[in-house]
Amino acid sequence: MSFTLAIVGRPNVGKSTLFNRLVGKRLALVDDQPGVTRDLREGAAKLADLRFTVIDTAGLEEITDDSLQGRMRRLTERAVDMADICLFMIDARVGVTPSDLVFADILRKRSANVILAANKAEGKAGEAGVLEAYSLGLGEPISMSAEHGEGLHDLYTALLPLADQFAERAEEDAPETDVDLSEEEAEDPDAIPMPTKTKPLQVAVVGRPNAGKSTLINQILGEDRLLTGPEAGITRDAISLRIDWNGVPMRIFDTAGMRKKAKVQEKLEKLSVSDGLRAVKFAEVVVVLLDAEIPFEQQDLRIADLAEREGRAVVIAVNKWDIEEDRQAKLKALKESFERLLPQLRGAPLITVSAKTGRGLDRLHDAIMRAYEVWNRRVSTAQLNRWLSGMMEAHPPPAPQGKRIKLRYMTQAKTRPPGFVVMCSHPDKVPESYSRYLVNNLRIDFDMPGTPIRLWMRGQN
């Protein structure tokens, strides 16, 4: 059921960096094989539970557009023809260049399955380039940072349906299989993709050592007893398990807990931070589990902030509520700390639970489902623009140096998490505070708690 992915694009966009990240040390140098071009590298790639072959068109110098017609084009065409899926990479910091257009053209003509990626998108410097990538007409770009390992989850999500397609083809070849793929639904772009057996909801439970992560997961397992068995998970060290929790297929990334059970001898402190970070990258919903006795510690704040920056839906769960005595006062204090210490996660649900007794677990389940739904939410352009006029009336944008900023219209560019583009005059002059005003009210007016919201100001070209 494996497939081949070719990473193509002009030199220096970061293809090798991604290749190395996917392949790690499992590299098979193609030059070693007689008769194969030295310019193509091939490796055995691993991304979460996907295993596939990856080809990189490495070894090209930055060359002029003239010779692009020659060597680079031939090399790319060969890679495209060898591959089932092509990942077309551009540099988000540079934006779309004339060479990129040549590649886009090759791909449109030759490859049935293209995933567009805007690399080097870490921080703000890549935002404009990501938006520009839409103009290539190759669908929604994945914004990623190969160097920092960001956007791998989105790559995984983009690969999954294509990977399934190759899996299905393999099933056709072998009709005696009893795998049931019939529950895959027809694609409706506006429908919220509901978790299925082949695409379970990906949840990470993160938190400091002793917060109760393994107790929580065992409690969930104990309630449903539908564990299909722990599997080797997303990376060498993190572990995921498949469960049906209240009937919803989920893949839960556990960090410290499972490994304790697996009797791996390592220092817990060391594990939980780096594993937590890794788990966040692969999750759709991140549950930040706090110990009610020591909530919002530095480590908790760091991982919650990371989840927000990675654009994951977030649920805060406060554990060990069974030993809490003055619950009302405690809850009030928790909410205050939350607002003060994590303003970027405003509106995220805060659920009190006891992993030990199982109290609050159903509410946690509901909060996860709701956060996931909101994370996938799409608001119509008509609604957004009515809303935007109201916002401008209530509080007009400022007029720096006497020039009033005009917000012309607004549209939702993406989901998971929701991202909006406002077309305006002088996008660089819109103050942070005005963007914040819009985001905060978007969240309230369209009822989007528990998800990061992205907003880009963009000028007309």
- Residue 61 in tokens: 């110098």
Residue 394 interacts with ligand GDP (CB under 6 A)? no
Q: Is 321 labeled as ligand-binding?
A: yes
Q: Measure the CA–CA gap between 154 and 410, rounded to whole angstroms.
A: 24
CB of 366 to ligand GDP, least distance (A): 19
Residue 97 interacts with ligand GDP (CB under 6 A)? no
Q: Measure the CA–CA gap between 296 and 196, rounded to whole angstroms.
A: 34
Nearer to ligand GDP, 324 or 373 (CB): 324
Residues 280-309 contacting ligand GDP, CB under 6 A: none
Binding flags for ligand GDP, 112-131, as an x/- string (CB under 6 A) = -------xx-x---------
**Strand boundaries in 162-272, DSSP class E:** 201-206, 230-232, 239-245, 248-254
Q: Measure the CA–CA gap between 414 and 35, rounded to whole angstroms.
A: 44
Residues 33-62 contacting ligand GDP, CB under 6 A: 58
Q: Is 254 labeled as ligand-binding?
A: yes
Binding flags for ligand GDP, 313-332, as an x/- string (CB under 6 A) = ------xx-xx---------
Piece of the chain touching ligand GDP by CB under 6 A; list 10-18, 37-45, 106-114, 367-375: 10-18
Residue 209 interacts with ligand GDP (CB under 6 A)? yes
Binding flags for ligand GDP, 240-279, as an x/- string (CB under 6 A) = ----------------xx----------------------
Residue 409, SS3 per DSSP:
strand
Residue 15 interacts with ligand GDP (CB under 6 A)? yes
- Residue 108 in tokens: 């449109």
CB of 58 to ligand GDP, least distance (A): 6
Residue corresponding to tokens 């065409």: 77
Residue from the set 143, 235, 354, 376 that interacts with ligand GDP by CB under 6 A:
354
Q: Is 222 labeled as ligand-binding?
A: no
Residue 213 interacts with ligand GDP (CB under 6 A)? yes
The answer to whether the CB of 394 falls within 8 A of the CB of 427 is: no
Q: Is 59 labeled as ligand-binding?
A: yes
Q: Measure the CA–CA gap between 230 and 45, rounded to whole angstroms.
A: 22
Residue 14 interacts with ligand GDP (CB under 6 A)? yes
φ, ψ (nearest 5 deg) of residue 441:
-80, -30
Q: Measure the CA–CA gap between 87 and 115, rounded to whole angstroms.
A: 5
Residue from the set 211, 250, 303, 369 that interacts with ligand GDP by CB under 6 A:
211
Specify which residues 53 forms β-bridges with.
Answer: 4, 44
- Residue 302 in tokens: 């760091």
DSSP class of 339: H
Nearer to ligand GDP, 138 or 163 (CB): 138
CB of 148 to ligand GDP, least distance (A): 6
CB of 170 to ligand GDP, least distance (A): 31
Kindly list the distances between the CA atom of residue 314 and the CA atoms of 134, 220, 305, 310, 367, in Å, as whole numbers in the listed order. 27, 19, 10, 11, 9
Under the rule (CB under 6 A), what is the footprint of ligand GDP? 11-17, 58, 119-120, 122, 145-148, 207, 209-215, 256-257, 319-320, 322-323, 354-356
Q: Could you tell me which residues are annotated as the binding site for GTP?
A: 9-16, 56-60, 119-122, 207-214, 254-258, 319-322
